[in-house]
């Protein structure tokens, strides 16, 4: 076993820097359940303004921010539609059904790439008293299990225009919207125009230890506050953590471009060895997703071999392995990855 591991499991594994910790230690605080934490209040205002919205609510996790959002857009017994491999459908443990009585239906998209037509073909609003009615659409940007796919703004615009005619609401799971913003050059406020609610994560990519926000208008956020407390998400002197998010937005957002370049570099390295594992042209952000369906080796088996060689990865299904770059990865780490992966893959993939 290698003592020093290069951790590519996720961009959630980053550690707070000394500068971030210093800001956390000095943050003014108050009781957030009473709305009296000045650092939290300032962060909520800052993030709402970034997206051109009226208000925001600080949450412990992206799953909570998502669940609060869809709870307010979809009534019990009604339907939310999302992509088959979206985080809301696959990675939140059925929370929409368990907590809110929401049913879900999905469309299939290659790499999670949004096409408005795919969504509009399955929505069923106003279905009457005997069939479930669609009331909201959830879009994930970037799409995690799709390999960090950036959703096309043109398709988002079409979907918003057509779904609005049908009386449907739209939610963005923007856990990695920061990566989409940096990769596409599209402003956060432009993204914000097309959604009734958004969730954004400060601990993915940006390096904060904890924290996400739900974003929307004042009425929605006011209604979300008691639900946050019902779900066990009420917090007290949490400005200590909110300060980390504030620091991340000011100083770490700009670091994402380097993560994207490194992910592309790793993807090209792998593509040169096994072009049917990944198309490097599709790697737009910081996620490298490897499709092992054409090989006998499983994702778990390859992850074990990588770990033994000093690289941690995530097996997310029998035949899908994910590598995620982040700003705790160094140039030295990248050189080590370059020296390890070609030799290991050639050996691991021989039994095709």
Model pLDDT for residues 261-297, shown as the tens digit of each residue: 999 999 999 999 999 999 999 999 999 999 999 999 9
Give pTM, 2 decimals: 0.95
Per residue in 34-84, pLDDT (tens digit) is 999 999 999 999 999 999 999 999 999 999 999 999 999 999 999 999 999
DSSP collapsed to 3 states, 172-228: EEECCHHHHHHHHCCCHHHHHCCCCEEEEECCCCCCCCCCEEEEECHHHHHHHHHHH
C-alpha 220/C-alpha 224 separation (Å) is 6
Per residue in 204-217, pLDDT (tens digit) is 989 999 999 999 99
**Largest interatomic CA distance in the chain:** 62
Going by C-alpha positions, the residue among 205, 156, 200, 155 that lies closest to residue 179 is: 205
C-alpha 41/C-alpha 221 separation (Å) is 13
- Give the domains, in start order, of the chain with CATH numbers: 6-13+255-348 (3.90.1150.10), 18-252 (3.40.640.10)
> Could you tell me which residues come within 8 angstroms of residue 227 by beta carbon, excluding any fewer than 6 positions away?
68, 71, 72
What pLDDT shows up at residue 1?
47
In the chain, which stretches have pLDDT less than 50? 1, 352
Going by C-alpha positions, the residue among 351, 346, 334, 348 that lies closest to residue 273 is: 346
């Amino acid at each position: 076993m290698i003592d020093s591991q290069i951790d590519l499991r996720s961009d959630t594994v980053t550690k707070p820097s000394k500068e971030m910790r210093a800001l956390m230690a000095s943050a003014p605080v108050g009781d957030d359940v009473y709305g009296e934490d000045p650092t939290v209040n300032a962060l909520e205002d800052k993030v709402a303004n970034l997206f051109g919205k009226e208000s925001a609510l600080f949450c412990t996790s992206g799953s909570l921010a998502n669940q609060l959002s869809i709870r307010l857009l979809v009534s019990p017994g009604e339907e939310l539609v999302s992509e088959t491999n979206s985080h809301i459908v696959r990675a939140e443990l059925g929370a929409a059904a368990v907590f809110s009585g929401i049913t879900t239906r999905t469309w299939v998209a290659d790499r999670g790439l949004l096409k408005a037509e795919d969504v509009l073909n399955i929505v069923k609003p106003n279905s009457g008293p005997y069939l479930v009615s669609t009331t909201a659409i959830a879009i994930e940007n970037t799409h995690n299990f799709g390999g960090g796919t950036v959703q096309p703004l043109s398709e988002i615009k079409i979907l918003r225009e057509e779904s609005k005619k049908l009386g449907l609401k739209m939610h963005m799971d923007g856990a990695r919207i920061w990566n989409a913003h940096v990769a596409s050059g599209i402003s956060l406020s432009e993204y914000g125009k097309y959604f009734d609610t958004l969730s954004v994560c400060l601990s993915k990519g940006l390096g904060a230890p904890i924290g996400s926000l739900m974003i929307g208008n004042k009425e929605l956020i006011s209604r979300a506050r008691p639900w946050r407390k019902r779900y066990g998400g009420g917090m007290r002197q949490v400005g200590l953590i909110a300060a980390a998010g504030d620091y991340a937005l000011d100083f770490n957002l700009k670091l994402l471009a380097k993560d994207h370049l490194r992910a592309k570099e790793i993807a090209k390295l792998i593509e040169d060895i096994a072009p049917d594992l990944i198309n490097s042209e599709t790697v737009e952000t910081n996620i490298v997703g490897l499709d092992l369906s054409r090989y006998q080796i499983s994702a778990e088996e390859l992850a074990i071999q990588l770990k033994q060689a000093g690289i941690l990865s995530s097996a997310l299904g029998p035949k899908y392995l994910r590598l995620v770059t982040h700003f705790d990865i160094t140039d030295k780490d990248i050189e080590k990855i370059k020296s390890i992966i070609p030799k290991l893959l050639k050996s691991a993939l021989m039994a095709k």
